[in-house]
Structure 1
Amino acid sequence: MQEIEPLTYGRYYHIYSHGVGNRDLFRETDNYDYFLDLYDKHISPIAETYAWVLMKNHFHLLVRIRNVDECLNLTGFENLSGLKPLHQHFSNLFNAYTKAFNKYYETRGSLFERPFKRKRIHHKAYFKSIVLYIHNNPVHPVK
Structure 2
Amino acid sequence: MQAIYPLETGRYYHIYNRGINSCDLFTEEDNYNYFINLYEKYIDPIADTFAWVLMPNHFHLLVRLKDVNEIDLSGLKPPHQYFSNLFNAYTKAYNKRNNRHGALFERPFKRKLIEDESYFKQLVLYIHNNPVHHGFCSHPIEYGWSSYLTCLSHKPTKLKRNETIDWFNDEANFKYMHNKAVETMQLEKWLEIE
Question: Do they fold alike, i.e. is TM over 0.5?
Answer: yes
Q: Corresponding residue for 1:36?
A: 36
Shift of 1:5: 2.0
Matched, 1:99 2:92: yes
SS of 1:41 mapped into structure 2: helix
- The TM-score normalised by the length of structure 2 is 0.67
CA–CA separation in structure 1 for the residues paired with 2:3 and 2:112: 11
CA–CA separation in structure 1 for the residues paired with 2:11 and 2:5: 12
Structure with higher RCO (Cα < 8 A, 6+ apart) = 1
- The runs of at least 4 consecutive aligned structure 1 residues that moved more than 2 Å come to none
CA–CA separation in structure 1 for the residues paired with 2:3 and 2:120: 21
CA–CA separation in structure 1 for the residues paired with 2:39 and 2:7: 17
SS of 1:138 mapped into structure 2: helix
Please give the residue correspondences for 1:1-143 in structure 2 after superposition, counting only pairs within 5 Å. Answer: 2-72=2-72, 77-78=73-74, 82-140=75-133
Letter in 2 for 1:25: L
CA–CA separation in structure 2 for the residues paired with 1:100 and 1:40: 16
Shift of 1:128: 0.5
Distance 1:139 1:2, change over 3 A: closer
* Aligned sequence identity (%): 65
- State the superposition RMSD in angstroms: 1.2
Q: Which structure 1 residue ranges, 5 or more long, are not aligned?
A: none
- The TM-score normalised by the length of structure 1 is 0.91
Deviations 1:70-122 (A, max 9, x none): 003xxxx34xxx21010000000000000000001000110000000000000
Q: Which structure has greater strand proportion?
A: 1
